[in-house]
Amino acid sequence: MSENRFTAENLRSQATAILQAWGMSHAHAITTADLMVETDLLGVDSHGVSMLPQYAVLRRNGRLRLDTMPTVLRDGPATALIDAGAGLGHVASAQAMQLAVDKARAIGIALVGVRNSHHFGAAGVYARIASKQGLIGLVTSSAQGILLVPTRATAPVLGTNPIAFAAPVPEGSRNSPFVLDIATTTAAANRVKLKALRDQPVPAGWVVDGQGAPVTEPQAAKQQVFDRPDGGLTPLGGSADGGSHKGYGLSLLAQVLGGTLNGGAFAPLHNRSHGPGDPANVGHSFIAINPTFFGEPGSFQQDLDGILDVLHATPPIDPRQPVLVPGDPEAAHHAERTRFGVPLPEPLERQLREVAKSAGVPFILQAIGRAKKELHDHLA
């Protein structure tokens, strides 16, 4: 499917206008739009501006608040806890990761938790906040959606519950920072949504029905994930033979560390006692580690750089497809999209036009060209 491209600044302006019209403060709207568009520049199309139509539905149904202010509930030397006010998680999450970085600079390692949050976009953008400042970042999160079918099960119980890790390389290195940003399902739910938007088949192993059979037709797969009580997304690994118990375990780990630790909800239990309009109480955890507490300044970055060099030099099966490390696809997307614009599927364009109209703001997206090809699919 051919797609129009848009500049990052154009997308930021449109997203900011919509978020402000929904009641978000100007400063918070700018921060949220920046994080969403940065996600698109990195090639994580499932978690950027494509989320706006979904946020519009949640807001209309009373399940999302936009005029909230994050509040620091507890603050210690190496820990803190933030209440996101039942709003979108972007602002509270950026605040939490930066607070963890500031604490880790002084004490070596810090964890800042967030409770009473909602969808926060892509976990990797927050881990990158730490790596850009020379620290290691680790992010986990629970989720509102009940989408992951545990190994041996027929119905979903857990969310896509992401895990992200980012580590810095020396300034000026030819390597990109090591950034692992993964859903704990074989594919994130919103990637299934994007397949449906683009009318592309869903790879076998992403989605299963209530009998465990693969669902590959895009519209049927989207319905299976978002609308049906049985079946859903497979844990990372796809099947028991492929090691899906590991993805199932990682999803539970992210729930416990990102959600339960901070007083966040476990969606199946939460839904039994709360109405559909009650806050989702999603939880996130943000960990920052200062490498200088464990070695000489700069030694960690140099050692990691050497590891990445070895991996890049590993002989590939196909010379036209060299060995990559986590973070390479996103870096390639960022360079290409900064230069040529971010591609949006035409159905998403139409949805954004409707979102802007219903919000009472002008639709200001102006295409600058057509997308001719896509780079490597995102690793998550």
Helix (H) or strand (E) holding 156: none
The two tokens of residue 170 are: 């020396």
Is residue 102 packed enough to be buried (19+ CB in 10 Å), middle (13-18) or exposed (0-12)? middle
Give the whole-angstrom CA distance, residue 69 versus residue 342. Answer: 30
pTM: 0.94
Beta partners for residue 148, in sequence order:
158, 233
Give the whole-angstrom CA distance, residue 70 versus residue 79. Answer: 16
State the pLDDT at residue 375.
46
φ and ψ at residue 300, rounded to 5 degrees: -60, -45
State the pLDDT at residue 176.
96
Residues of the chain with pLDDT under 70: 1, 372-380
State the pLDDT at residue 298.
96
State the pLDDT at residue 372.
62
* Domains parsed from the chain with CATH numbers: 1-67+332-380 (1.10.1530.10), 70-186+234-313 (3.30.1370.60)
| Residue of 143, 38, 82, 86 whose CA lies nearest to 286 | 82
Beta partners for residue 284, in sequence order:
114, 141
State the pLDDT at residue 376.
42
State the pLDDT at residue 373.
52
Is residue 162 packed enough to be buried (19+ CB in 10 Å), middle (13-18) or exposed (0-12)? buried
| Residue of 115, 105, 208, 206 whose CA lies nearest to 153 | 208
| 191, 114 Cβ separation under 8 angstroms | no
- With a CB cutoff of 8 Å and minimum separation 6, the contacts of 259 are 141, 142, 265, 266, 282, 283, 284
Helix (H) or strand (E) holding 272: helix 267-273
Task: List Cα–Cα distances, 266 to 151, 280, 363, in angstroms.
Answer: 18, 9, 38
